[in-house]
Amino acid sequence: MVQRLAQAAKIGIGLWMAGVAIATFLVVPQYEGLGDAGRIVIVHVPTAWVSVVAFTISAIFSGLYLWRRRERDDHIAVAAAEAGLLFTLLATITGMIFSQVAWGIFWNWDPRQTSIFVLLLIYAALFALRAAIDDIDRRRQLSAVYSLFAFVTMPFLFFIAPRIADSTLHPNCAFIQGSNCDGIVLEVGKVGLIGDQKVQLLGLERKGNLLVAEVKVSTPGLQREAILYPSLDLVDGGMADRPEFPGSRFQLGLEEYNEATGAVRLNMEAPGTNLLENRRTLYVFLAANLGFTALLFWMLQVRSLVLDLQWAIAQRGRVTYG
Amino acid sequence: MDNAAIFVATAAVLSVWIAIFVYLWRIDTTARMLQRELRREREQAETALPKAEVSRVRSTDEADEPVERRS
C-alpha cells in the first residue's frame, strides 16, 4: 500500500512539473522591459530555494551522523549536499541568462553572483575532501564536520551578503523585503553609485512642468559611458521619462526633487520588479516551488538508496560480529 | 516570441523534463529491485548457515565433561 502511494506520488511529481513547464510558457504573461526573459524567474528562484532546503537537510543529517554514527545519515547528508550543489548550479546558470538579458552581460562579479560563486566553491570542496580520504569512518566524520561549517556560511552568502551590498544589480526589491532600494540623493556635480553604475548629476533644468536631470552614467572598469536625461513631473510628482542604462534594460528614474537643498533622488528601475503581482505568475511560481521541492525529496531518496546499496554491496562477504 | 517559437520552446522544455523523469524513474526502480535482491540474499544466507552459540567455556579441571551446545 505504502509502495503504491509512493509510486503514485512520483507520477504526480512528473505530471505536476510537466504542468509547470507548460504554464511557464503558455500561462505566464510577458513583462514590460523583459519580454519572455521574465519567465526564467519560474525556474531561477525555486532552484535557489530548493538548494537552501538541500543544504539544510545535509547539515541536519551531518549532525545526526556525528551523534548516532549511522551510515544511512551520512548517505542522506551526501545526497542532500550533491542535490544542493546541482540546484545552486542551475540557479547560477539561469541567473546568468537573466543577467545577459537584463544587464547586458553574463557575469560581472555582482555581489549576488560573487556570493553564490563562493558558496559553490565551499560545497565543491566538500566533495574534494571526501575524495581525498580513504578511511571510510574518517571520511564520514570529517565531511560531516565540514558540512556543518559550510552550512553556517550558507545563510550569509545566500541572504545577508547580497542584501547588505549597496551596489547589487540583482532585483532584490522584487522578492526580498528590506533590501536597499531607495536609490541615491545627489546634488549637482556630485557622484554616486547605483547598482554597478557610476552616476554623476551634471545639471538640472526646468521645462514647463517637467524637471529634467542631465546625468552622466558609466560602468566602473568599462569604457562605456552615456549622458541620460531622466525627468520628473513636478505637478503629480511622478517619474516622466526613464531612459535605459547603456547596454542594459534597467532604467534611470528621477524620483524626487527637494527644492530647499536642490538635491534629487535618482534610482534604478529594475524590469520585472513587480513580476509577482500578477496572479497567474504568482500561482505558477508557487506551483514551481512546490514541484521543485517534491523533486528534491525524490532525488534525495533515490540517491541515498543508491549510496546504501553501494555500501551494502561493499560489505557483502565480510564477516561481521556482534 | 511568436506563437510558433513559444510552442517549440515548450516542447523542448517538456522533452528535457520527460528525459529527466524517465532517468530518475529507472534508477529508482532498478535500485529498489537490487535492494530486494540483496535483502533476499541476506535472509537466505542467514537461514542456510548453521548457527551455534557458546554458552559456557570449559575450564581445564572439567575436561571430561561435555560442552553444552545450543543451535
Taking the C-alpha atoms of residue B14 and residue A221, their distance in angstroms, rounded to an integer, is 41
What pLDDT shows up at residue A321? 45
Cell numbers placing A82: 550533491
- A10 contacts chain B (CB < 8 A): yes
The residue with greater pLDDT, B53 or A313, is A313
> Which residues are CB-contacts of A151 (< 8 A; sequence separation ≥ 6)?
A55, A56, A58, A59, A62
Chain B residues lying within 8 Å of A302, measured CB to CB: 24, 27-28, 31
User: Between chains, do B17 and A18 touch, taking CB under 8 Å as contact?
Assistant: yes
- At A287, the pLDDT band (50, 70, 90 cuts) reads very high
User: Between chains, do B34 and A309 touch, taking CB under 8 Å as contact?
Assistant: yes
- B11 contacts chain A (CB < 8 A): no
Taking the C-alpha atoms of residue A203 and residue A189, their distance in angstroms, rounded to an integer, is 7
- Percent of chain A exceeding pLDDT 70 equals 85
What pLDDT shows up at residue B57? 65
Q: For residue A193, how many C-alpha atoms fall within 13 Å in the half-sphere facing its CB?
A: 10
Closest CA to A298 of B56, B16, B29: B29
Using CB atoms and an 8 Å cut-off, which of residues 32-51 of chain A contact chain B? 35-36
What pLDDT shows up at residue A272? 59
- A27 contacts chain B (CB < 8 A): no
Whole-model pTM: value is 0.75
A154 min Cα distance to partner chain B (Å): 28
- A298 contacts chain B (CB < 8 A): yes
Instruction: Flag residues of chain B having pLDDT under 50.
Output: none
What pLDDT shows up at residue A178? 45
Closest CA to A174 of A49, A30, A273, A280: A273
Residue A322 has pLDDT above 50, yes or no: no
For residue A182, which phi and psi values (nearest 5 degrees)? -85, -10
Closest CA to A179 of A66, A267, A82: A267
DSSP alpha helix (H) spans, B1-71 = 3-48
Instruction: Compute the average pLDDT of residues A207-217.
Output: 90
- Cβ(A140)–Cβ(A179) under 8 Å? no
User: Between chains, do B38 and A316 touch, taking CB under 8 Å as contact?
Assistant: yes
Closest CA to A217 of A239, A241, A244, A238: A244
What pLDDT shows up at residue B3? 77
